[in-house]
Chains A and B, each alone.
Chain A
């Protein structure tokens, strides 16, 4: 059966189909790269396909000449790293007890409800801002980290993964004299690397990509994380909003409203997070529990 003709046909067809779909996903990014290296007027005439026309790097020079880009990059790295560390620890600490049965953890029901409420309801924009403001977190990097430090979705993910780990392993650890904390750290966590990698990815991508909290909680543009900076650059600078007298006064604005600069911005801001994927790849391994419980 493994080598039957129909099987082979299926494999070939499958590979072709998937490659084709991957290629379709790649096309916009290729176009983005081509546009970012092309000259402004050719781009504005929509004549750039997958290869740059009028090759130049002025867009990238412009971006890297702006000190704000690096300030924002640093804030994003800071929030991503701190946010990741904090959220990972909190998620594990919440998920582990909740993965236990009610017999072991008596208040489990209450806590499940407690967390479920946060999943369904939230305070809304203005109350959230008021809370952050009254806590004097506005303008601080913690305003970007604390309000979403425990994402219930990730907790559910971890919780369900913990449940798939055979209870016998826990029993064995307890019989050997380990406490709950030791069991969690020494038995559960090493076995949960795939799910830890998954939520790590979720957290990193979310922190890297979120821009709205930066806009709301940061008072000055020099405190903006990268994506808020990108958002103000890409969406706000629109020729239609600039009067021609403003342009006559400052013709440099013409250059920065071009699509090639925007594409270059998008590229420069998203590339770092794309590089995370290959490094997390090796944790997505199956079959780690194979053979741990016999009989």
Chain B
């Protein structure tokens, strides 16, 4: 009798426990005790001449969140909530920013998910693209459409328009603007060919003009001992396992056949199709298979990522590869430091036929800056972003302002990282600086007239050139010289631009519904098929089967969605 009683008691206690736990986890969302009341900012009078940088009197206070680089350092006494930018917001705009939380890297997405789940959003937000659209559709974000024209400064408008306004257009949800995108640069993702100039000279080879030239150079680099150490330890051409990436990329090679590994290409007829199923891809793969069979490609390329290829480049084992404009900052520079005899040139990609090869470019829409729906002054966001534009990107800005609000030359601290909504005209900036610097070098322009940031780079480059271009003694000078100097990677991009050779990927938005579900499978199918064909473990004809499978397994549906996205974003307005 007693035993039964205890058992019943135990049973009910366990049931209670389970119920309590269920209730606790279920109530989480509902028990939020209401947002803390807004300080009553209704009393703030909006002056009649209110504009992009007009100060609030009295000051208003806004909570915010921030994603960080991960290596923030501060002047003594400063921190995230008290630094040159927060003080500027308070003194110049009458806005007191109060960062509730800040986090670097992948933790950022985690924290945003937490904030959304607990409905504990700050007033000013930096949102990952996916959360931006979710919150905008849920009505949690303030509609900025009525404020944008009036409050966005001319510099901000120019910055957002640097790419023709394409990235800005993605921010609209059902015709309304809920946030300002963090814009990136398409041009910087174009592939070019990087070659060891000293090897070319040693083997008496010309700069490549066609794909056949590239193959010839690759053969010589593999077989004729370009580094002169008597060992056959150099590779013909450097590739890595992923289809898109920075160093050892395939995109530039595919482009020789007018096909693309991961890009969406809009045809003359206005229809967008996937670059990897274009007919040229089959030839490109057949050619790569040939190169692999001739031992010009590292047999281990299928397991090497771009960092591993970078190690081979830095170690002087690779002297020819496709890569982006940033190589002077990466492996190419390490190769110089390890061996000052090494010299790199970069040249435009080449074509396999008479048609010019067009490198593909893309951006990723990562973040949007937005305001919570219940904020009384949503235009404050635009004012805050304006201030950054005014200090940093304004053509009239001074070196002093730049040293105070940008990178401090003494401590090396990058104050710009503490600004909220720091936007760069990424599309235009290096292009413009390249032009300005080289105009000054050629005597067409006076150094005082160019942007102060460009003056800094100009000084480094000039100093490097005046000191006899000694790579070993001044690798950083070489670095800037190859980046923006007269013989630099941005010269190649300028060439692409002037000749309309850049093929912008038509799609760069949030993954579509089917992409989210099946994208990973399709990517895997593509990568496996391609690597098998290149390494010779599958016949080239497998490519046709791949195209069929790709279409059947969701590719057709994705293509349809991509076209719909494009038309809704760019054609409707």
Contacts and interface: CB of A to CB of B under 8 A. Distances in A.
Nearest to B308: A46
Contacts of A220: 80, 99, 101-102
B479 A47 contact: no
A244 interface: yes
B205 interface: no
A153 B105 CA distance: 33
Given A126-B28, A245-B429, A249-B453, A133 B337 contact: no
A220 B65 CA distance: 10
Given A123-B25, A129-B114, A235-B105, A221 B68 contact: yes
A221 B104 contact: yes
A42 to B, nearest CB: 6
A236 B429 CA distance: 25
Contact of B334 (A40, A124, A216, A237): A40
Grouping DSSP codes into helix (H, G, I), strand (E, B) and loop, the A interface class, with mixed when no group exceeds half, is helix
Interface string A232-273: 110111011001110111111110100000000000000000
Contact of B104 (A42, A46, A236, A248): A236
Counting contact residues on chain A (CB < 8 A from B), the size range is 35 or more
A2 interface: no
Contacts of A4: none
Interface stretch (A87-95, A109-117, A202-210): A109-117
A220 B106 CA distance: 15
A286 interface: no
Interface stretch (B210-218, B310-318, B368-376): B310-318
A248 B483 contact: yes
A131 B26 CA distance: 11
Given A41-B334, A236-B105, A126 B315 contact: no
B296 to A, nearest CB: 21
A177 interface: no
Given A44-B311, A133-B118, A219-B102, A247 B329 contact: yes
A224 to B, nearest CB: 9
A130 interface: yes
Contact of A113 (B10, B107, B311, B328): B10
Interface stretch (B41-49, B275-283, B406-414, B531-539): B406-414
A127 B426 CA distance: 40
Nearest to A252: B412
A106 B6 contact: yes
Contacts, number: 151
Nearest to A123: B25
Given A41-B334, A244-B430, A126 B102 contact: no
Interface string B300-332: 000000101011001110000000011011110
Nearest to B185: A243
Given A127-B24, A243-B188, A250 B311 contact: no
Interface in A105-145: 106, 109-110, 113-114, 117, 121, 123-124, 126-127, 129-131, 133-134
Interface string B423-457: 01010011000000000000000000000010001
A222 B453 contact: no
A66 interface: yes
8 contacts: A45-B334, A45-B338, A127-B28, A216-B111, A244-B188, A244-B328, A245-B430, A248-B484
Interface of B: 6, 9-10, 13-14, 17-18, 21, 24-25, 28-29, 31, 68-73, 79-80, 99-107, 110-111, 113-114, 117-118, 120, 184-185, 188, 245-246, 306, 308, 310-311, 314-316, 325-326, 328-331, 333-335, 337-338, 406-407, 412, 414, 416, 424, 426, 429-430, 453, 457, 476, 479-480, 483-484
Interface of A: 40-42, 44-47, 66, 106, 109-110, 113-114, 117, 121, 123-124, 126-127, 129-131, 133-134, 215-216, 219-222, 232-233, 235-237, 239-240, 243-245, 247-254, 256
Given A45-B314, A215-B107, A222-B79, 9 more contacts: A40-B337, A45-B334, A110-B13, A133-B120, A220-B101, A233-B70, A243-B426, A245-B426, A250-B414
**10 closest A-B pairs by CB:** A236-B105, A219-B101, A45-B314, A244-B326, A41-B337, A45-B315, A130-B28, A46-B311, A127-B25, A236-B70
